[in-house]
A and B are shown apart, each in its own frame.
Chain A
Amino acid sequence: MHTDSPPRVLVTKIGLDGHDRGSRVVATALRDAGMEVIYTPPWQDIAAVVGLAQDEDVDVIGISSLATDHLLVPKLMQALKDTGLGHIRVVVGGIVPDQDEQDLLSAGVSHVFHPGCSLQKITEEVMRLAHAAREQAPSII
């Protein structure tokens, strides 16, 4: 039962954009796939996301970005590494220009979901990444 506890996913937005309908749709889909979704208001800063990830012990962070906030994600990746949270998988969804995608992946982002991607594809990928993250999470006892 303990190894099968539901994946924990933080769904949030960083930067200044407040369009959060997409993140709500995804949060609901992840819930329907049996995951525990920690949902926050938009406008989080990097330090807040790191703090949330620590407190909530999440397996995956989903960043919704519709207005260039994805450009902040490499900073988030660095902050997670610096805090010892390198096992947490990060995915980005929304509007990410093709020329930026490679930069995100190089910074350590696991997956970028573009418009038109099905919810099923998103939930399957997040589920897979959550299990991978859990395998690598440092053990405390």
Chain B
Amino acid sequence: MNSDLLVSLRAKDRSVLGRAVTVAENGGEKAERLLEIIKPLSKSAPIIGFTGTPGSGKSTLIDALVTVYRKRNLTVAVLAIDPSSPFSGGAVLGDRCRMNRHQTDGGVYIRSLSARGSVGGLSIGVSRVISVLQASDFDLILLETVGAGQSEVDVFELADVCVVVCTPNSGDDIQAIKSGILEIADILVANKSDLADADNTIKQLVLAQNLPSNKSRHVSVISTIATQGEGIENLADQISLQVEGIKEPRGKDTDMQTRRHLVRAIARQMEQNLLNEDNPKIDQLCASIINGEMNTNEAVSIWINHQTTRKTKS
């Protein structure tokens, strides 16, 4: 049965792939087993991350890029993440509305993922899902984050190449040199460049990239009109150049990066555990907060002390 699974994944059997993604996304023991089974298949298709503000055109841009890649005979998997409701946990995943051309193309797999409460721009199980896509032998994996503000930079940890999508009228030249999302870009896309003020936006982005700094990599600024497919071939070429560049490990501080990645993964898992398991201490702290006996910060200190004492006892 396991070998069937591997063959089906390799052949991009869409039903099997869809179910495998669900298992990986949901996590737990089943997901671990799945990842163990597919390990021998794992290759490393480049992961291209796309981030930017809501409505900047990420989905439309990806849709246009997929068309270009298909013309170049490359197979593509797309993960499109949309936010989950802070109230119900549900989600309307609407990225499909802009990626409506590839539904029946066997060389394209598109999956909508809910962030499921994650706040860094990605979703809880996304790295497991990527392992499944790697086992399915796609040439490229495109990863679209939720609409991001200034600091949702998790995609930098997962993607080999980060594309940050900007639009005209999104701020002046000071916005362009702030820390955060613009800093993680390998490629800056000035989308909707048919709008008024687009030239200014491009100028500001280029100027900000040309300020003297100790950054070693070159960030290119590309202007596109995703709805009309303009600039997309150029973007695809730039992505290829960057992908070739990363055969050498890219100039990031890998030790610190790995450490940060690991610690975050642990934190996410602990968060899920604490939210879902029966835990009298947590219940007690919640009750105290609700009764007004303490605030959240005090409760955190008590929790951490509680954990440390438990550890020293054992």
Binding site for B on A (CB under 8 A): 1-2, 5-6, 8, 27-28, 30-41, 44, 47-48, 51-52, 54-57, 83-85, 137-138, 140-141
Contacts and interface: CB of A to CB of B under 8 A. Distances in A.
Interface of B: 1-2, 5, 14-23, 25-31, 33-34, 37, 84-85, 87-94, 96-97, 100, 103-104, 109-112, 114, 116, 272, 276
B18 A56 contact: yes
Nearest to A11: B92
B92 A57 contact: no
A31 B18 contact: no
Given A2-B28, A6-B114, A52 B90 contact: no
A41 B114 CA distance: 19
Contacts, number: 109
Contacts of A34: 85, 88-90
B278 to A, nearest CB: 13
A1 B100 contact: no
A55 to B, nearest CB: 5
Contact of B93 (A39, A41, A48): A39
Contact of A56 (B90, B91, B111, B116): B111
Nearest to A8: B22
Given A51-B103, A55-B109, A2 B19 contact: no
B94 A39 contact: yes
Specify which of A2, A38, A55, A56 lies most central, judged by the most chain B CB atoms within 10 Å of its CB: A55
Contacts of B89: 6, 34
B88 A31 contact: yes
Contact of B15 (A38, A44, A85, A141): A85
Contacts of B30: 2, 141
A40 B100 contact: yes
B104 A31 contact: no
Contacts of A33: 88, 90
Contacts of B103: 44, 47-48, 51-52
Specify which of B15, B30, B116 lies most central, judged by the most chain A CB atoms within 10 Å of its CB: B15
Contacts of A32: 85, 87-88, 90
A20 to B, nearest CB: 10
